[in-house]
Amino acid sequence: MNLRALILLLAFATAPAVAFAQSAPAPAASAAPAAPAGPHGWQGHRMQLTPAQRAAFKRVAMQMRQIHESTRAKMLGSLSAAHRALVAHVVGSLAISPRPNVRAAIAQIDASLSASERNAILAEQRSEMAQVRALHAQLRAQFERDHPQMHARMHGHHAPTAGGVLLRTLLTGHGRPQR
């Protein structure tokens, strides 16, 4: 329950920052890329997106944004006016606090919500996750259709062995060998 409440709280807290970031001017065209592409392109794969693939990614990103905005609106709509005001106050307090205590904020919100509000929020979160999983599955299926050779390479690996996992973890700390 606390993890779900934390996710909800973070969604409320980051929504203004995301909106601000989306309204910020785009970086200059001469700006350097955030991460250099290796000799084989993105993350070592030789993959160039076609305009149709770029459009598909944009479409999915827009759908995910719409799903999130709808979920957010439904969650806020499930709250009483007093509880919306309380959540706004808690989020504002976290934003300006020099040492924000997210756990205390979650506890405060959890303690104030009615059973029907809690159930509505959690049901909406489950619905959002199901919709996002469905979008990911659609995108993955399209990727597999468009790049059958890359899909075969990615999924043609044998299951990892315990020794392989242990060695990679010990050598890198992240389960993947360093390049």
113 in any annotated domain: yes
Structural domain boundaries, residue 4: 1-9+51-147
Region class of 22: left (phi > 0), else alpha (psi between -120 and 50), else beta: alpha
Reported as a single tens digit per residue, the pLDDT across 4-21 is 554 544 455 555 444 444
Q: Which amino acid is at 8?
A: L
Residue 57 in any domain: the answer is yes
Q: Of 39-48, 51-60, 69-78, 134-143, where does the model show the most confidence?
A: 69-78
Q: What is the pLDDT of residues 110-123, one digit of tens each?
A: 999 999 999 999 99
What is the Cα–Cα distance from 44 to 104, expressed in whole angstroms? 43
| Measured distance CA(76)–CA(9) in Å, rounded | 11
Residue 18 belongs to some domain of the structure: no
Higher pLDDT residue, 12 or 165? 165
Residue 16 domain-assigned? Answer: no
Domains held by the chain: number = 1
